């Protein structure tokens, strides 16, 4: 692409693809329409039903080993399907608290060490791979190879 159209066209292609991805995420992902009203306010966990909290009920068998109680823990697990309303235009937030909560949750997740470590490990490996990809065209352009960037990409 850079040989034929120039290097600027590659970056403009990235801008267009990024814009399309943002629009697809806003309009086609049902999780962006998740209703968080039950998460806002004081004493949220006390007001939520126990089947939504994921509480497991354990019974003790004759061998004194904990086993799961018969039946499902979450009655909604594996049931239902996406509905048309989930793919509608983005809905208006119920309250300012819900809006601020949706902005705060990703920031709060980065306070956990495992999230920090996995982000670092992924970005480090992606950066190393990117460094190799960006320098290979320059390395193979010099003699004895004398390859164009198109030939390196093939």
- Whether 52 maps to a domain, the answer reads no
- pLDDT-derived band at 3 (thresholds 50, 70, 90) equals confident
Expressed in angstroms, the distance from the first to the final Cα of the chain is 12
Identify the sign of the CA torsion 129, 134, 140, 142: negative
Are the C-beta atoms of 32 and 25 separated by less than 8 Å?
yes
- Whether 139 maps to a domain, the answer reads yes
pTM: 0.41
Q: What is the pLDDT of residues 110-133, one digit of tens each?
A: 889 999 999 999 999 999 999 998
- pLDDT-derived band at 7 (thresholds 50, 70, 90) equals confident
% the chain with pLDDT above 70: 64
R_g over Cα of the chain:
25
Q: What is the pLDDT of residues 54-80, one digit of tens each?
A: 444 444 445 555 555 556 577 777 777
Indicate the helix (H) or strand (E) that contains 10: helix 7-28
* Tokens matching residue 134: 């960006």
- Whether 120 maps to a domain, the answer reads yes
Residue 88 reports pLDDT greater than 50: yes
Domain count, the chain: 1
Are the C-beta atoms of 116 and 110 separated by less than 8 Å?
yes
Nearest by Cα to 48 from 36, 57, 58, 59: 36
- Residue 118's domain comprises 110-154
- Whether 150 maps to a domain, the answer reads yes
Mean pLDDT value across residues 26-40: 65
- Whether 154 maps to a domain, the answer reads yes
- Whether 78 maps to a domain, the answer reads no
- Whether 97 maps to a domain, the answer reads no
- Whether 152 maps to a domain, the answer reads yes
């Amino acid at each position: 692409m850079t040989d034929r159209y120039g290097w600027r066209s590659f970056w403009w292609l990235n801008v267009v693809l990024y814009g399309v991805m943002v629009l697809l995420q806003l309009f086609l992902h049902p999780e962006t329409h998740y209703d968080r009203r039950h998460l806002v306010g004081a004493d949220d966990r006390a007001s939520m039903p126990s089947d939504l909290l994921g509480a497991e009920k354990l019974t003790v068998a004759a061998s004194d080993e904990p086993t799961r109680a018969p039946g499902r823990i979450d009655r909604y697990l594996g049931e239902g399907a996406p509905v048309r309303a989930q793919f509608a235009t983005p809905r208006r937030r119920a309250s300012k608290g819900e809006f601020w909560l949706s902005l705060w949750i990703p920031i709060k997740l980065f306070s956990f060490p495992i999230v920090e470590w996995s982000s670092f490990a992924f970005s480090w490996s992606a950066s190393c791979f990117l460094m190799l990809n960006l320098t290979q065209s320059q390395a193979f352009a010099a003699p004895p190879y004398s390859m164009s960037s198109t030939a390196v990409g093939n």
